[in-house]
Amino acid sequence: MDCNGCEKKDGNTVSYISHEADMSRMERTIRRLWVLLIVMLVALVMSNLGWIVYESQFEDISIEAEQTADTGNNYAIGGDYNGEAESHH
């Protein structure tokens, strides 16, 4: 097939050199995007590892206390609900 007379309907054609320049530019852009993706994945993994190390420094302690009251009110012994208590020294 002879493509010497091939043109788009509006008569515009793209030169080979321009097409190759665009393709090489796109290849560089794609390579940079892959590098960015790898850097972002490494940053995500390092961030998660940092949080795991930080959280593993602490120890979970559970303290159970039993409170009893003679009057049946087990909420505020010796004081009122505003946090003001009488001192029994």
Per residue in 29-50, pLDDT (tens digit) is: 999 999 999 999 999 999 999 9
Does residue 3 lie in a domain region? no
pLDDT, tens only, 12-25: 788 999 999 999 99
Q: Which domain holds residue 22?
A: 15-55
* pTM across the whole model: 0.51
- Sign of the C-alpha dihedral, residues 75, 78, 79, 83? negative
Short-list 63, 67, 64, 89, CA closest to 77: 67
Highest mean pLDDT, choosing among 5-9, 53-57, 70-74: 53-57
Quote the pLDDT of residue 2.
Answer: 53
Count of domains for the chain:
1
Q: Do residues 40 and 32 touch, judged by C-beta distance below 8 A? A: no
Q: Do residues 88 and 81 touch, judged by C-beta distance below 8 A? A: no
Q: Do residues 67 and 74 touch, judged by C-beta distance below 8 A? A: yes
Q: Strand, helix or coil at 38?
A: helix
Does the structure show a pLDDT above 90 at 82? no
